Structure 1
């Protein structure tokens, strides 16, 4: 997968890949596409239980929900 800086674009690409390759294949291999901060998150922040959960839950409830929750753009604070 190409590098994506927007988590929503990445999530859309993951969904597209699941349609083409099958959800189980994509769900078990999303970690290979992670780079930079997302790879650090997966490697350093998640527990082994959380990693196993990502492989068991649906893409939407596992990987996509977790990635969007962790990397969603922060709303700018207004004065």
Structure 2
């Protein structure tokens, strides 16, 4: 499942540098997570790096992009292969 940034986002930049796949982009007025790049950091140990970095807890699972662990691992493998 990809993650989603809610309207509570304060555009503080805390999450951007935490994302190993560069899936988070600055947008106006809130930041956006590209679901095609978000792997929930499954390749980094399975805990999303951006969630604890967010000071307002506005990063949540995206109900429109549900993926299981196998799908996330496959996406991570594909993303890292392109680098």
**Structure with greater Cα Rg:** 1
TM-score w.r.t. structure 2 length?
Answer: 0.28
The structure richer in helix per residue is 1
The structure richer in strand per residue is 2
TM-score w.r.t. structure 1 length?
Answer: 0.29
